Every structure is written in structure tokens, then in C-alpha cells.
């Protein structure tokens, strides 16, 4: 998901106070999804092929997988690649390389669409908030996306990692707080 928060006010007197945040709004929004969908049973079969069935954490994960009611999940194109279906799970380096190949392009596409929707150029972006539950590589993928988009190196970046399904909401909350703080500085 890409979202652009901005304050359309033209003069400093129109900036919101702490009590009046009504002029802070999402001015651009976009999403990008991988083309492949898998069902809950596909995820379960994959996990059971990779990890011991009696592992307590895996049993908890499979219980959550079953109880969520999620019928399908979008996965990147590596799902059908035999390298990801071996007896040994992929290494952290393998996951990072795949994420940088596929995830960065999805994030970049969503960000470009959100920027277009907001009529804001990448060169005027001052803050970037990114989120991932998949990747833990360093530097964060947000740095790669920002560089490829032409966002200034001086833009402040925040990467939220490991927040799972709540990540989108957490990113919007952090972005809102950053935008309000930046607005109040003027």
C-alpha cells in the first residue's frame, strides 16, 4: 500500500493546531498485490513441509491460520519455484534477496501510484514510513524504494518491521504523527 499524507494549507496560519487536525488528510492512496493467490491449506502444506509438525509455534500458527477465516493470501511469484519447496527452509539471505527483487517493485509501484494520485512529485517528499512483516534485511527496503523513486536522501525514513497484519494501520498512524509534528514546526 502507498499513502501520501499532506497538508494542503497555503499559509502558516492555516496549519492545524493540536486540537484541530482536520486539514491533515490522505491525498493519495494506492495498492499493489502479487498476482498469485494461495489458500489456507496451501500455506499449511508449505509450513508442514518446511518445519516439524510438533513445533509448538507452528501449531499455534496453524491454529491462527485456520481461525482467521482468511480464504486466500497473495504471494509473490516465487511460490512455485522449487527452491522454496525443499526440505530445508530458505535462509534469511534467500528471503531478503527475494523480497528485494519482488517486494521492492510492489512497494515502488504502490508509492508511484499514490504520488500520482496526490499530484506530489517524489522530490518533494520529506518523510517515508514503510512497513514489512516479511523482510528484515539491512539496510531496510524503504531506503531502496526511496532511492529508486527519486525521494531526496534527506527525507526522514521510518521502517516498521514485524508488525504483521496491523502494519498498514501502524504505518498510517506513524505517518500522521510525523506529518502533524512537521506541520506544527512551521
Give the end of a domain, one of 54, 69, 89.
89
pLDDT given at position 35: 85
Indicate which residue of 12, 88, 153, 165 is catalytic.
Answer: 165
Q: Domain limits at 44?
A: 30-89
Which CATH number fits the domain that encloses residue 180? 3.40.47.10
Is residue 2 situated within a structural domain?
no
For the chain, residues with pLDDT lower than 70 are 1-22, 186
Regarding whether 113 and 81 lie in a shared domain, the answer is no
Give the end of a domain, one of 65, 89, 113.
89
Regarding whether 122 and 49 lie in a shared domain, the answer is no
Is 184:18 a contact under the CB 8 Å cutoff? yes
pLDDT given at position 14: 46
pLDDT given at position 12: 45
β-bridge partners, 156: 127
Is residue 79 situated within a structural domain?
yes
Regarding whether 96 and 177 lie in a shared domain, the answer is yes
CA distances from residue 2 to 31, 32, 125 in whole angstroms, order as listed: 6, 8, 13
Is residue 165 situated within a structural domain?
yes
pLDDT given at position 148: 96
pLDDT given at position 8: 53
Regarding whether 96 and 34 lie in a shared domain, the answer is no
Is residue 11 situated within a structural domain?
no
pLDDT given at position 85: 81
pLDDT given at position 138: 86
pLDDT given at position 109: 96
Give the end of a domain, one of 89, 105, 127.
89
Q: What is the spatial distance between Cα 49 and Cα 159, in angstroms, rounded to a whole number?
A: 31
Q: What is the spatial distance between Cα 64 and Cα 70, in angstroms, rounded to a whole number?
A: 10
Is residue 13 situated within a structural domain?
no
- The number of beta carbons lying within 10 Å of the beta carbon of residue 96 is 18
pLDDT given at position 19: 52
Count of structural domains, the chain: 2
- 174 annotated active-site: no
Is 102:140 a contact under the CB 8 Å cutoff? no
Rg of the chain, C-alpha, whole Å? 19
Regarding whether 112 and 73 lie in a shared domain, the answer is no
- The number of beta carbons lying within 10 Å of the beta carbon of residue 183 is 19
**65-71 — which CB contacts under 8 Å span 24+ positions?**
65/40, 66/40, 68/40, 70/40, 71/39, 71/40
Amino acid at each position: 500500500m502507498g499513502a501520501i499524507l499532506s497538508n494542503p494549507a497555503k499559509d502558516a496560519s492555516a496549519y492545524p493546531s493540536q486540537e484541530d487536525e482536520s486539514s491533515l488528510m490522505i491525498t493519495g492512496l494506492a495498492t499493489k498485490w502479487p498476482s498469485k493467490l494461495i489458500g489456507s491449506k496451501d500455506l499449511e502444506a508449505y509450513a508442514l513441509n518446511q518445519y516439524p509438525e510438533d513445533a509448538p509455534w507452528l501449531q499455534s500458527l496453524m491454529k491462527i491460520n485456520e481461525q482467521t477465516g482468511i480464504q486466500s493470501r497473495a504471494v509473490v511469484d516465487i511460490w512455485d519455484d522449487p527452491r522454496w519447496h525443499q526440505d530445508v527452509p530458505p535462509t534469511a539471505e534467500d528471503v531478503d534477496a527475494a523480497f528485494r527483487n519482488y517486494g521492492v517493485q510492489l512497494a515502488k509501484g504502490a508509492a508511484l501510484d499514490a504520488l500520482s494520485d496526490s499530484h506530489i512529485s517524489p522530490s518533494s517528499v520529506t518523510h517515508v514510513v514503510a512497513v514489512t512483516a516479511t523482510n528484515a534485511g539491512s539496510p531496510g527496503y524503504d531506503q531502496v524504494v526511496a532511492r529508486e523513486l527519486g525521494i531526496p536522501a534527506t527525507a526522514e525514513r521510518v521502517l516498521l518491521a514485524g508488525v504483521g497484519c496491523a502494519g498498514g494501520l501502524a504505518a498510517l498512524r506513524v505517518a500522521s504523527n510525523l506529518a502533524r509534528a512537521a506541520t506544527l514546526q512551521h
